[in-house]
Amino acid sequence: MGSGRGNCCVGNCSVGNSVGKKNNVRNGNVANCCVGDCSVGDCGVANCCVGDYGVGNTSAPTESNNTDEISNAKIRIQEMAQTTEDDLFSLVNQSTAELKDFLNQFAVEKYEEEELKFDLENLNTIEKKFIAELSGFIVAKVERRLIPEDKEVVVILGEPNNAKRRKNFEAFYERLFCNAVKDLISKTATFFQVQSESIDKDISALEKNLEDKGKHSDKLVDVHELTKQFVEDKKNSVCDVLKAHINQVKEMIPVKSIRLQDIAAELDFTTAGDDEAEIFSLKYAHEADENSLAIAYSEKDILMTKAQNVLTKPRLVPVQKNFLYCDFKEFNAAIIKVARLMIAEGIYPDYEKNFEQTARDNSMFGANVEIGEGTIIAPFVSIGENVKLGKNCRIDSGVFIGSGSRIGDNVKILSGSRVGVNCHYHYDFDGKQKSFCGVGRTIIKDGVEIGANTVIQRGTFSDTVIGAGTIIGNLVEIAHDVKIGADCLIVSQVGIAGNVTIGDRVQIFGQSGIKDWVTIGEGAIILSKSGVTKNIRAGQKVSGMFSREHKDELRRLAKLKKIIKEE
């Protein structure tokens, strides 16, 4: 197809926002036209094929482009690192000077007629060694990964869409920068520890001298505490500045992450394997992907999970993975500690925090609520933050929709129901019952109907999902991390515990209860007042307290009735 611009082939694409004096668009022929949002410079119109890569600032990445991307990233990192290191070394220099002035006030006093002499020159030596060793530390650490051969770099720079590639690559090297500064914080803390030990050595020398002479000075004890606190305050002050550099960069990163070693250091856990592995989410083992930290309750979980990073109790498993071991007797408490740390790092939203709502049409709305065309919201509805409602939905009065929830098209939610409420994930810690709000969402797919006064909890470490076309009656309780398939029927007063998986076209009748972690196969029928404590096969029909096959249960009841009658 000729375009009047060299040999530019425009195929399989839509033409929009075209600019030019003549726009001859016929059977894919574009003359004197800039296609889509694509500039001539970015696409390299001559001898350029715009097709499978889409139209709009898009081109197939080349080795030359990748080299330029990496070079530009290195320049940006050098600028960021220079600012950070300049601030750090200036603060360290100022801190050492203030520390020497602080120590001098004790040196002029007498301690049982003896003088306290501090080796101030040694403090200078420690400072100079610290600066010499850590000059260029950030750049060196980051540039180890900014190479064309790095696996993650290969994947990111292989993205054909220019805008997406640049965004992902910026997020990648900004994460590397943040990780390098975290390591710098650790080394800075060590620097102050070495200074503190130097001061302790000088005080201990005088204490020993007094002890040899049969003397003791209570003032030296005070000096020891005061100097120790002074150094600790300086350490915290300097490290806070470095943390501010991290937070400033983290705000620009669209997808947050944390390294295994950072989790271990913060929570006093132990790692095995690659402790610099990046963690983007915390998930149950069966749902975890390669970027997740998998929660493994057993060896089976470790062997079956797709994740390379595993949180578990100390155990030996013959598999090449990265492990985060916790020492807690209460494993669930350790999981929650990791989750709360990831919330603090901005990886997950904090659903426990209070948020502001705005009154509109007699209902209350949090920030960033999207409402589809044709959706009707009755008065006295409360909607949290970052909620999306699809088209043509009906939300009756008194309904609550929790933050982060996703509601599809043509969904009906009747009065008084609570969708996406914080989950009640209970765990034992130090002999006391605790609860956690969860970091997952609630997803209601198209065409779902939810009766009055029903409660659906958000997921704990995954999403709670209600499949398309499912009908849920009144007064139903659906706990965290439940997955319900399409076109199911759940009648009033049913209780479904956490992590239950229900297939498509399942029917569950009134007042039935389902135990946690149970799987119910496609097309199964659970009759009224059944107690489901084990997996149900596809197409199976069960009833009774022990969810037996319905025919078997009827025979048992008939025999029981006969026995009672005979007595």
Contact status, residue 251 vs residue 177, Cβ threshold 8 Å: no
Q: Could you give the CA distance from residue 311 to residue 398 in angstroms, rounded to a whole number? A: 40
- Long-range Cβ contacts of 163-168 (<8 Å, 24+ apart): 163/56, 163/57, 165/61, 165/69, 166/69, 167/254
CA angle (261, 264, 267) in 5-degree steps? 145
* Dihedral sign computed on CA atoms, order 130, 70, 176, 293: negative
Catalytic position from the list 245, 426, 480, 550: 480
* Nearest-angstrom CA–CA distance, 286 and 288: 6
Q: Where are the alpha helices (DSSP H) in 284-390?
A: 299-304, 331-344
Paired tokens of 132 = 């010499």
Of the candidates 100, 81, 83, which has an alpha carbon nearest to the alpha carbon of residue 234? 100
Among 557, 529, 555, 556, residue whose Cα is nearest residue 543: 529
Count CB-CB contacts under 10 A for residue 69.
Answer: 21
Angstrom distance (rounded) from CA 288 to CA 542: 32
Alpha-carbon distance of 121 to 548, in angstroms, equals 82
Please say if 480 is a catalytic residue. Answer: yes
| Secondary element (H or E) of residue 170 | helix 162-212
CB 100 within 8 A of CB 119: no
- Residues designated as active site: 480
